[in-house]
Structure 1
Amino acid sequence: MSQMRPATNMPSARKTTKNEPTTLEHERALAAAYQARFIGAVDEVGRGALAGPITVGITVIDIHEVREFPELRDSKLLRPETREELVPEVRDWAVGYGVGHASSEEIDDLGVTAALRLAGTRAIEHCAIAPEAILLDGSYDWLTAPEPDLFDVLADDREPVGVHVPVATIIKGDMTCQAIAGASILAKVERDGIMSELSKKYPEFGWDINKGYATNTHRAAIETLGPCDYHRKSWNLTSSGHRAQGEGTTKEAK
């Protein structure tokens, strides 16, 4: 594809309702803007949790061959069993897909933005076909590789992170874009599975229900028992009045 400057953002989607079908409108617009055939779509899960990984999902669609899939929705709006049923369908629908993670230790070491970029890079590495341009849910591009500095040049053994293709952000993309919604489903199902498995080892934290997010019961358990190896120890884990950088909702995870 031709070399063009990276996109910054797509036009904000019109107001939508929870029951309104997703479309391929933004995917087709991005493909047209960059004469691209293979469009990636990325979403993250777990950014605001107190424990567990940050997880990033990606789908890659062939804009020449893709079929409409309006049943895809933001993963948070779907019942858990519906999300799980959709996973194999999303994998069949996309020409490439992947899920990547950054551990709680990596989040502590790198910070939220760099951890997201690391998880996103790992997700893309799983794709059978690499994206030529990417739609990213949200308003901030955390996926594009930063400009290298002297430390980057000297640290040749470090894991390369970030992408070098156009990235376009779109607010609430998981509610409007079919490919982003598909990525959100892949990411949420995989991360929820991880947290459910970890809850068997640490049942006192209620991760089978809260998935590591900052609920009152989760914070109370940390206050009583202290954090475990899967908590983000650089975060404020016990005070609901002060949120650490990147921390999200205190509601129970859906």
Structure 2
Amino acid sequence: MNALRRPRSVAPTLRVEKSLAEQGHRFVAGCDEVGRGALAGPVSVGVVVVDLESVKGLRGVRDSKLLRPAEREALVPRIRRWSVASAVGHASAAEIDAVGLMGALRSAGSRAWAAVSAIVPPDVVVLDGNHDWLSARLPGARGEDAGSAAAEPGCRAPVHTRIKADLTCLSVAAASVLAKVERDALMVSLAAHHPSFGWDVNKGYATEGHRAAIDAAGPTGYHRRTWRLGSLDRPAAPILERG
């Protein structure tokens, strides 16, 4: 009997990106984040810019969660060549604790945005999800992380949020792959110095073994200390993750 094969998802396309050409846009940035729900490590934001006047499809790209590690890694150089600019930005666990998850996402996104803008300033962004955490916030704007705007100006191009864009929009799926590969590699490198937490396997997410290791050894400087980390209650620990 043949082993059951994992069904392949429908490939994302450039339909949404190309529809933006009708509004006069040429350079479209796809943007996605990884690490939002982890207990340790950064949140990471990928940005991939395509030129609507020349871009073609890219076989094999899917939302990073639907690909095996080897598949993601093999796609990275192909995505870099396919796009006109690409970058990944990170915001540390300490930043998440200091400004909250949305503020940290904006900081990570601003770093990736600055990197691609130095090569090709995008005209417009397609952002995965239903909340625009990428756009710059004016100093003094209302919001839990408004104070971060002065340090991280962020994106000033129009941002179009789209639920499940990583499944349907090729540039966004490509951004998710770059962010996932870079963040995973970072967590593997950190695991060498903190082997008891299993970051080379769980990548900082909330597995039973990861929580048990936190119970036994306590959190490191790479843990999000404002989140509930272990399976045991700790004095003065918050009840819920701020994410």
* TM bin (shorter chain): 0.7 to 0.9
Please point out which of 48, 53, 62 is paired with 1:73.
62
Structure 2 residue 21 is the aligned partner of structure 1 residue 24: no
Once the 2 structures are TM-superposed, how far is the Cα of residue 173 of structure 1 from its aligned partner?
A: 0.8
- Counterparts of 1:109 and 1:120, CA distance in 2: 17
In the alignment, residue 203 of structure 2 is paired with which amino acid? K
Once the 2 structures are TM-superposed, how far is the Cα of residue 139 of structure 1 from its aligned partner?
A: 1.0
SS at match of 2:192: helix
Give the match for residue 132 of structure 2: 141
In the alignment, residue 168 of structure 2 is paired with which amino acid? T
Summarize the alignment of residues 114-133 of structure 1 with structure 2, pairs less than 5 Å apart. 114-127=103-116, 128-133=119-124
In the alignment, residue 167 of structure 1 is paired with which amino acid? V
Percentage identity across aligned positions? 49
- Preserved contact between residue 215 and residue 231 of structure 2 (Cα < 8 Å): no
- Counterparts of 1:160 and 1:142, CA distance in 2: 12
The CA deviation string for residues 147-204 of structure 1, in whole angstroms up to 9 with x for no partner, is: 32189xxx99952332111100111111111100110010000000000000000010
- Counterparts of 2:148 and 2:207, CA distance in 1: 41
- Counterparts of 1:240 and 1:133, CA distance in 2: 45
Summarize the alignment of residues 197-216 of structure 1 with structure 2, pairs less than 5 Å apart. 197-216=189-208
In the alignment, residue 39 of structure 2 is paired with which amino acid? L
Please point out which of 152, 155, 159 is paired with 1:163.
155
- Counterparts of 1:35 and 1:240, CA distance in 2: 55
Which is further off, 64-73 or 108-117?
A: 64-73
The CA deviation string for residues 9-43 of structure 1, in whole angstroms up to 9 with x for no partner, is: xxxxxxxx8521110011112232x3110000100
Please point out which of 48, 53, 57 is paired with 1:64.
53
Once the 2 structures are TM-superposed, how far is the Cα of residue 70 of structure 1 from its aligned partner?
A: 3.9
SS at match of 2:131: coil
Unaligned 5+ segments in structure 1 are 1-16, 247-254
In the alignment, residue 207 of structure 1 is paired with which amino acid? W
Give the match for residue 245 of structure 1: 242
In the alignment, residue 173 of structure 2 is paired with which amino acid? A
**Structure 1 residues 216 and 235, CA, compared in 2 at 3 Å: closer, same or farther?**
same
Which is further off, 158-167 or 115-124?
A: 158-167
Give the match for residue 180 of structure 1: 172
Please point out which of 77, 83, 101 is paired with 1:94.
83
Please point out which of 223, 227, 248 is paired with 2:215.
223
Q: How well do the aligned residues superpose, as a CA RMSD in angstroms?
A: 2.1
- Preserved contact between residue 35 and residue 41 of structure 2 (Cα < 8 Å): yes
Give the match for residue 93 of structure 2: 104
- Counterparts of 1:21 and 1:70, CA distance in 2: 8
TM-score by length of 1: 0.84
Once the 2 structures are TM-superposed, how far is the Cα of residue 142 of structure 1 from its aligned partner?
A: 0.6
- Counterparts of 2:189 and 2:156, CA distance in 1: 35
Give the match for residue 236 of structure 2: none
Give the match for residue 3 of structure 2: none
Give the match for residue 26 of structure 2: 37
- Counterparts of 2:21 and 2:139, CA distance in 1: 28
Once the 2 structures are TM-superposed, how far is the Cα of residue 239 of structure 1 from its aligned partner?
A: 3.8
